[in-house]
Amino acid sequence: MLTQNADSCANIDFKFWSFTKRCLEVSTHDWRDYVVLHQFEALLLFRRPMGRRTHVGAITLLLLLTPLSGCFGAQDAANERAEDQYPSIWDRHNLEWNTSHTHTFVLEPGPHYALEVQEVNIEVDTTGVWEGGPNSATVHLSYWLPSNTQEGEKVPVISVISPYFSYGSPGDESSPTNVVGGGRGEFIYDNYIPHGYAFAQVAVFATEESTGCFDYRGDGEGLSIHTAVEWLGQQEWSNGNVAIYGKSYEGATAWEAAAQGSPHLKTIVPISGTTALGPLLYKNGSAEARSQVMHSNYGGSILDYDGDDLDNMCGDVVEGFLAGPTRYGLGELDPYMDNYYDERSHIDKALGTYNGSIYWVQGLQDWNVDPHQVFGGPPGVNWYQEYIDNGYEVAGMIGQWEHNYPDQWTKHNNQDSGYGGEAIHNMTRWDWAQDLFEWFEYYLKGIGPAPALHAQVQRNDGEWRIEETWPPSDVERMSLDMGECTNDGAFLGGGAPVVGGGQVVTVECPAMSDSDLHIAGLATLHLLAVPTFDGGQVFIEMQDAETGLRLGHATMDIRYHAGGYDAQTVVPGQAVTMMMEFQAIDAILPGGHGLKFVMSEQGEDYLAPACGPSCTVHVLPSSSTLELPIIDRDGDNVLITPQVVE
């Protein structure tokens, strides 16, 4: 315990990493005139952690409050104590971690417990939100408060916002909002409620007990998310600060909320979260298989098959059913679907609107929400770096896992060679709960030192390291004139629509270096190609030519040859340069090893082009150029992570 005398600021009680109360002297020196502030309100007097870096207001406030220097000294002592209490990330591998569950745990359990679940239905005016939908709807959410709220303490909220509550066909549904969800719900409930956080599970419009139209990722859904965030931030027990945590769709809802700009949303933790629907389903115009049924699959899974389902169906839903087949079949001739996908792009709308921090988590082997959702964007844009450059406080954890959480060890063990398998032994982050705890303490409570705004990155052989950003800022581009390579053909594609099965071209290139090459970032291939039809597609898998180990992949519809999101009509027989960009890679190519490129009309989960046998593509590798992003590291930023020793 640390105390100060009355002349300084009144008996201030510091405990562990934080303090319970803070006092502020006002006009007189009578003890009755001391105002006791809640810990977070007091902390705001000294430091306002923001998502975007702002300093002028803080400096001005500091000058105005100079007479309170005694209290400032106490705050400095508290921060120093917090810094001492948090173990360094470099030392975590020496500590003991609780590995008894399917999720990870903080180092020290908190002193509080969860109160009984409470539920609320929030009425929302939806007039004009949907085409043909109801004029009002309700958002249903359930929440658990920590026991310290019984003493009047105000607490921040960690929320999971999702369509997946009571999700599935009748009789085979997932749990409702008032039951702690498996995995991500238990993770929050077990770790953070005991440390004084509320936990909320929110059902978006038309799911579980929320009503209205199922406007998949659209403006209507965004309204339901924004309504929940506002409500959670305005309750008497709330300190006004809300976080959204979640993977996949539940990471997408974080971006939907960010685009709404609620002042209560202080931080988001999107884990393989969709940032924009169009690029998710059509990477450079190449259609993922699910692109044809995405909206209808969700629509079918939320129906209860009763009269209430009529409210779920509106013009926006019908448009979603048509969006996939229309884009796939017509490409640049798609008459109206740009509006559909533009409405469902959130990361661009959040930039400059959202005023919070971002802890970005992404698997480099994720085929569900591909890494380009984080490290891609319109031509010349890498969203991760774009947010940093615009003043946002951003940290990242970038592993070799698939569509999983950093601590989801039950899934990490199942990855194949070339798809993260070589990194399994060092993949699971047993310190994830602690890492996130320190993030939440600062951005939701204003407690402790500011987290390091770095990127924790795992290479394909399992090695972790810490970079200032990713791709690293000191990348050097190494070029290869593919005229030095050999190939076994010139035409690819020509298979059946959807299923493909056409011609394949293999290109083998000599070693680019006698030393190991560390590829870190977005490799590019400017491929000269000649269409035989207004359409066609190239899918490329990059391999180590010596071992056959898969390193990465790229895909592009030839009508999107300039990159970006807009198709152009191509003229048969007229050569174009396909500006292909590989999905994010962090991998070692051993010295003396060359590269192999297997080119086909489809790969993995992408459909063959709709034009089928009519649209073979004549590729000219000898007139093409490969660029690899290369970094040189001496090992001083290698991060040894805690791992379970069998």
Residue ranges of the domains in the chain? Answer: 14-85, 118-467, 476-631
Tokens 């059902």: give the residue. 203
500 compared with 168, residue with greater pLDDT? 500
The fold of the 476-631 domain, in CATH, is Jelly Rolls (2.60.120)
CA 493 to CA 505: how far, in whole Å?
Answer: 9
What is the value of pTM for the model shown? 0.87
CA 607 to CA 536: how far, in whole Å?
Answer: 11
- In degrees rounded to 5, what are phi and psi of residue 278? -60, -55
Tokens 């502020």: give the residue. 24
Query: pLDDT digits over 605-639, tens only?
Result: 899 999 999 999 999 999 999 999 999 999 999 99
Joined together, the tokens standing for residue 382 give 């890498």
CA 335 to CA 2: how far, in whole Å?
Answer: 69
Confirm if 316 and 322 have CB atoms less than 8 A apart: no
Query: pLDDT digits over 37-81, tens only?
Result: 333 333 333 333 445 544 444 433 333 444 444 444 444 544 454
CA 10 to CA 570: how far, in whole Å?
Answer: 76
Closest CA to 611 of 464, 445, 496: 496
444 pLDDT exceeds 80?
yes
Residues 259-283 have a mean pLDDT of 96
Class of domain 118-467: alpha beta
CA 361 to CA 229: how far, in whole Å?
Answer: 22
With a pLDDT cut of 70, the percent of the chain lying above it is 85
| Predicted local confidence at residue 323, as pLDDT | 85
409 pLDDT exceeds 80?
yes
Categorize the per-residue pLDDT at 311 as very low, low, confident or very high, splitting at 50, 70 and 90.
low
- In degrees rounded to 5, what are phi and psi of residue 567? -80, 150
Joined together, the tokens standing for residue 635 give 């090992």
Confirm if 46 and 57 have CB atoms less than 8 A apart: no
CA 350 to CA 340: how far, in whole Å?
Answer: 18
| Predicted local confidence at residue 646, as pLDDT | 66
327 compared with 87, residue with greater pLDDT? 87
Confirm if 638 and 465 have CB atoms less than 8 A apart: yes
308 pLDDT exceeds 70?
no
Tell me the C-alpha to C-alpha distance, in Å, between residue 251 and each of 93, 167, 245, 263, 363.
Answer: 28, 17, 7, 19, 13
Query: pLDDT digits over 219-257, tens only?
Result: 999 999 999 999 999 999 999 999 999 999 999 999 999
Categorize the per-residue pLDDT at 309 as very low, low, confident or very high, splitting at 50, 70 and 90.
low
Query: pLDDT digits over 69-120, tens only?
Result: 444 444 454 445 455 679 999 999 999 999 999 999 999 999 999 999 999 9
b/e sequence 324-337, b meaning 16+ C-beta within 10 Å: bebbbeebbebeeb
Query: pLDDT digits over 135-153, tens only?
Result: 999 999 999 999 999 999 9
CA 166 to CA 208: how far, in whole Å?
Answer: 5
Joined together, the tokens standing for residue 19 give 């303090």
Joined together, the tokens standing for residue 594 give 């060359």
24 pLDDT exceeds 50?
no
CA 492 to CA 435: how far, in whole Å?
Answer: 47
| Predicted local confidence at residue 118, as pLDDT | 98
Question: Pairing relation of β-strands 638-639 and 486-487?
Answer: unpaired
Joined together, the tokens standing for residue 247 give 């993977």
CA 347 to CA 337: how far, in whole Å?
Answer: 19
Strand-pair partners of 138 = 123
